[in-house]
Amino acid sequence: MNTMEWHDAGLLLLDQTLLPIEVKYINCSTVEDVVEAIKTMKVRGAPAIGVAAAYGLALGALHSESIDRMSFDNEIEVAGRMLGATRPTAVNLFWALNRMLDVLHSNCDKGVPEMKRILLDEAHRILLEDIEMNQRIGSFGSQLVPPGARVLTHCNAGALATGGYGTALGVIRAAHESGKQIQVFADETRPLLQGARLTAWELQQDNIPVTLITDSMAGYLMRKGIIDLAVVGADRIAANGDVANKIGTYTVAVLCREHGIPFYVAAPISTIDMNLDNGDDIVIEERETVEVTAVFGQQIAPQGIKVFNPAFDITPHRLITAIITDRGILRPPYKESLKNIFV
């Protein structure tokens, strides 16, 4: 099932806020529609956000009524700022927008009609490249998964979080496809339950054996010797290897270190931000209190209770066994290995 599809009327997005109860696509026909979809997490996951933003910029271009390039370029830059203001942590968003704007500025000799086509073609290219990168991540990462392994994953870093195939779930999917007879443990991932709603559903759809656990059960399973490795995605990776990912990832990494279990991060190179020295420089998004105080619209906490709701945390590089990218498996020291993949 595709996370997103382009058609003549615009961008079709699978509404992930409704899964697994309802499978429904929404049509985004304007850049404002894409902005709203990203803000409300109808589309989520760092790579998927980046691809959606690229299409959002293309929609802004297609609906532009400007005739001259100066006015047209100004419109596209405004659209880029709107999309860039949706979610601050996932670097893929800004990577995709910068790539689209680079295409805009490097084709200043083209007329507006041709530029509209060029921008849409670039968005298509970003989607296809994302799927290919995820498949390479899966191929590299499956080498780290022993036959019969019991794998813990946190949040959702699958086809739903990307253009297709997935990063962390790409590793799991590739290991399953190679006949390794793995078992997956997906933690629920509060507060929005991406593990329970999305990862468990996605793996079930692909007939990959999966067991759902609550977030607080991971340590118990590790102590019992039930988990062999953990693999997660990433929303931003700093130059030293520190990783921003869904809140609770740091806890899983600490538990893995305590129990001598490999902890792997899977992400495309578009998630690596070499402009940030370490994780302390990563902006952590804070979201609405209702995500914590209610579940599916049902209040579960006292009215007026004070809430702190950071969407992500930082896992220090020292807790990460390896980073699996579309260009290979990176090992410590990450300052060296991350720098080398861009050479």
- 273 in active site: no
Residues whose CB is less than 8 angstroms from the CB of residue 237 and which lie 6 or more positions away in sequence, other chains included: 243, 244, 265, 267, 271, 272, 273, 323, 338
Q: How far is CA 181 from CA 36, 58, 174, in A?
A: 40, 42, 11
Q: What share of the chain is helix, strand, coil (3-state, %, to 5)?
A: 45, 20, 35
Instruction: Look up residue 235 and give its DSSP letter.
Output: S
On the CB side of 254, CA atoms within 13 Å amount to 7
Q: Is 228 exposed, middle or buried (0-12, 13-18, 19+ CB in 10 A)?
A: middle
Q: How far is CA 98 from CA 13, 21, 109, 181, 299, in A?
A: 22, 36, 19, 41, 40
Q: How far is CA 133 from the centre of its chain?
A: 13
Which one is catalytic: 73, 130, 187, 235?
A: 235
Task: Provide the 10 A C-beta neighbour count for residue 306.
Answer: 5
Q: What is the dihedral of CA 34, 39, 43, 48, to 10 degrees?
A: 80
Q: How far is CA 330 from CA 40, 144, 277, 334, 336, in A?
A: 34, 12, 17, 7, 9
Residue numbers annotated as active site:
235
